[in-house]
Amino acid sequence: MSFQLSDEQRAVRDVVREFGENEIRPVAREHDEEKKYPHELVQKAATYDLVAPGIPEEYGGAGMDMLTEAVVTEELWRADAGIGSAIGSRGFGTSMIRKFGDEWMREEWLPKVAAGDAATCSCISEPAHGSNVAGIETRAERDGDDYVLNGTKMWITNGTVADVAVVMAKTSPDAGHRGITAFLVPTDADGFSATKIDNKLGIRASDLAEVVLDDVRVPAENVIGAVDEGFYQLMNFFADGRTSVAAQAVGVAQAAVDAAAEYANEREQGGQKIAEYQAIRHKIADMATDVEAARSLVYRAATHVENGDDDTAARFASMAKLFASERAVEVADEGIQVHGGAGFVTDHPAERFYRDARITKIYEGTSEIQKNIIADRVL
Ligand SMILES: Cc1cc2nc3c(=O)[nH]c(=O)nc-3n(C[C@H](O)[C@H](O)[C@H](O)COP(=O)(O)OP(=O)(O)OC[C@H]3O[C@@H](n4cnc5c(N)ncnc54)[C@H](O)[C@@H]3O)c2cc1C
């Protein structure tokens, strides 16, 4: 198995890197401090095919494979995790529409998302049910030709900026994971409301909300896929999502290495650059090695996801997410250490990398859940 990127993938990486360096990085601190959603940058990113790059070409997307998508994610997060998250999650939930939605759903929403003109969100988690998706309480009850949805969704990325939501709701409440259905819910539907959560530790440019569904009525044709099959449909994308989060972790960790190396080559103590002290050299060597190891796992997971070997993809995606996210937080922590006191304040981005990296251990399944998944496949 080769981890060599193709010429095309390297070209995509170079375009995203240039976009990140020229457009994203200069405004990263401002967006973090002001918790500002990057509307204009999302539009610009769309012109480079960086918004939901996996959307097929026939629906106006770039049709990138999973490995190329991972490279895009990594570079966006290397430039800035918060803005990278806003761009990268713009089409969150579109995988469900792509794979299980009816043709009218694909035609209506995918071109708009790819063009940067619409955002989607994926409403799975609830205040009382995060890791245990099967426990969700949001209900969808059939009423004539419609379904009526009631419930509260928590920690919803894009909640206040999305135009349409993919909502997981119980259609057979006593059937556990066998009673969940996916619904396409326009966010301007009566009874749909979103309240922004803006006291986040990191990725502050990205939108997060609590979503309430209060007697939201949608036609039965808005069922995505099959009734009561939503949980199984969702399982199809966890490997993709986890590989993406692992790529996010690699991106922010690489940014921490870059910043630490740059600072070490500038900062002098005791009459020499701190980069000449073995303690600092070894720290940076360890950081760089961790990032490369994580990147290798991400590429491997992406390749398995692309090849469609579900069980192997699930195992590698969980391993990649676990390893990359845990290492990213450690690498960002060491990045602060290399900066000394300067790493503890917002004058340098080192502290932001640390705050931003932290989310990768939590969403798309916590590190503990990844270990459960890996153990199930090893034991
Ligand atoms: C910034 C952000 C963005 C998010 N975006 C979205 C989104 O767009 N859509 C969406 O639906 N959700 C989203 N989430 C929710 C995210 O997926 C959940 O927070 C995550 O799955 C954990 O669920 P929880 O917060 O309820 O924690 P809990 O499930 O309550 O977990 C608490 C602790 O218990 C541990 N734990 C729980 N169950 C087990 C178990 N079986 N074995 C071992 N340990 C266990 C966990 O690992 C964790 O350490 C987002 C969250 C954040 C913070």
DSSP conformation letters of 318-367: HHHHHHHHHHHHHHHHHHHHHHGGGGGSTTSTHHHHHHHHGGGGTTTS-H
Q: Using CA atoms, how far apart are residues 118 and 151, in angstroms rounded to an integer?
A: 24
Residues of the chain with CATH 1.20.140.10: 233-378
Q: Which two tokens stand for residue 3?
A: 């981890």
Q: Which atom of ligand 1 is nearest to the CA of 206?
A: 1
138 CA distance to ligand 1 centroid (A)? Answer: 17
What average pLDDT does the segment 288-306 reach?
97
CA separation for the pair 46, 52 (Å, rounded):
8
Question: Does ligand 1 come within 6 angstroms of the Cβ of 131?
Answer: yes
Mean pLDDT of the chain: 97
Contact 303, 239 (CB under 8 A): no
- Ligand 1 in reach of 152 Cβ (< 6 A): no
Q: Using CA atoms in the order 336, 339, 341, 346, what is the torsion angle rounded to 10 degrees?
A: -70
Atom index in ligand 1 nearest the CA of residue 92 equals: 8
| 308 pLDDT tier (thresholds 50, 70, 90) | confident
- The number of beta carbons lying within 10 Å of the beta carbon of residue 107 is 12
Q: Is the pLDDT of residue 309 over 90?
A: no
Substitution candidate for ligand 1 out of 124, 131, 198, 210 with most atoms within 8 A of CB: 131
Is 156 touching ligand 1 by the criterion CB < 6 Å?
yes
Let me know if 117 is exposed, middle or buried by CB neighbors in 10 A (0-12, 13-18, 19+): middle
Amino acid in position 321: K
Res 277 pLDDT > 90: yes
Categorize the per-residue pLDDT at 1 as very low, low, confident or very high, splitting at 50, 70 and 90: low
Write down the pLDDT at residue 65: 96
DSSP state of 165: E
Looking at the chain, list the stretches that DSSP marks H as alpha helix, in order from N- to C-terminal side. 7-19, 25-34, 39-47, 66-79, 81-88, 94-100, 103-114, 230-266, 278-307, 310-339, 350-357, 367-378
- Taking alpha carbons only, the member of 261, 256, 259, 264 closest to residue 294 is 256
Q: What is the pLDDT of residue 6?
A: 95
What 8-state DSSP symbol labels residue 4? P
Residue nearest to atom 25 of ligand 1 (CA): 130
Exposed e or buried b per residue across 34-58, where buried means at least 16 C-beta atoms within 10 angstroms of its C-beta? ebebbeebbebbbebbbbbbbbeee
Confidence of residue 144 (pLDDT cuts 50, 70, 90): very high
d(CA 18, CA 165): 32
Structure confidence at residue 233 as a pLDDT band (50, 70, 90): very high
The 10s digit of each residue's pLDDT in 154-209 is 999 999 999 999 999 999 999 999 999 999 999 999 999 999 999 999 999 999 99
316 pocket-lining for ligand 1 (C-beta < 6 Å) = no
Considering the chain, tell me which residue range(s) the CATH 1.10.540.10 domain(s) occupy.
7-114
Nearest CA to ligand 1 atom 24: 130
The beta-carbon contacts of 11-15 under 8 Å, at least 24 apart in sequence, are 12/64, 12/68, 12/71, 12/72, 13/71, 13/72, 13/75, 15/48
The atom of ligand 1 lying closest to the CA of 129 is: 26
Task: Name the residue at shortest CA distance from atom 4 of ligand 1.
Answer: 155
The pLDDT of residue 375 = 97
> How far is residue 191's CA from residue 213's CA, in Å, rounded to a whole number?
6
Residue of minimum CA distance from atom 29 in ligand 1: 131
Ligand 1 atom 17, closest CA: 363
* 7/160 Cα distance (integer angstroms): 38
- Structural fold of domain 7-114: Butyryl-Coa Dehydrogenase, subunit A; domain 1 (1.10.540)
- Per residue in 190-205, pLDDT (tens digit) is 999 999 999 999 999 9
As assigned by CATH, the class of the 120-228 domain is mainly beta
Q: Please give the distance, rounded to the nearest whole angstrom, from the Cα atom of residue 121 to the centre of ligand 1.
A: 16
| Ligand 1 proximity of 362 Cβ (cutoff 6 Å) | yes
pLDDT at residue 67 is higher than 80: yes
| Residue 262 pLDDT grade (very low, low, confident, very high; cuts 50, 70, 90) | very high
Q: What is the pLDDT of residues 326-343, one digit of tens each?
A: 999 999 999 999 999 999
Shortest CA distance to 321 belongs to which of 231, 232, 208, 238? 238
| Residue of minimum CA distance from atom 9 in ligand 1 | 156
Pocket test for ligand 1, best of 94, 359, 363, 372 (most atoms within 8 A of CB): 363
Report, as residue numbers or ranges, the catalytic residues: 364
The answer to whether residue 2 scores a pLDDT higher than 70 is no
120 lines ligand 1 (CB under 6 A): no
Ligand 1 mutation target, pool 155, 198, 204, 367, most atoms within 8 A of CB? 155
State the closest ligand 1 atom to the C-alpha of 366, by its place in the atom list counted from 1: 47
Q: Whose CA is nearest to atom 2 of ligand 1?
A: 155
Q: What number is the average pLDDT over the span 119-135?
A: 97
Cα(329) to ligand 1 centroid in Å equals 17
Q: Are 75 and 251 contacting, i.e. CB atoms less than 8 angstroms apart? A: yes
pLDDT per residue over 348-375, tens digit each? 999 999 999 999 999 999 999 999 999 9
Compute φ and ψ for 272, nearest 5 degrees: -150, 160
| pLDDT of residue 3 exceeding 80 | no
Residue that has been written with the tokens 């998944």 in this structure: 373
What's the whole-number mean pLDDT along residues 98-120?
A: 97
Ligand 1 pocket residue status of 243, Cβ below 6 Å: no
Alpha-carbon distance of 57 to 53, in angstroms, equals 9
Give domain 233-378's CATH architecture.
Answer: Up-down Bundle (1.20)
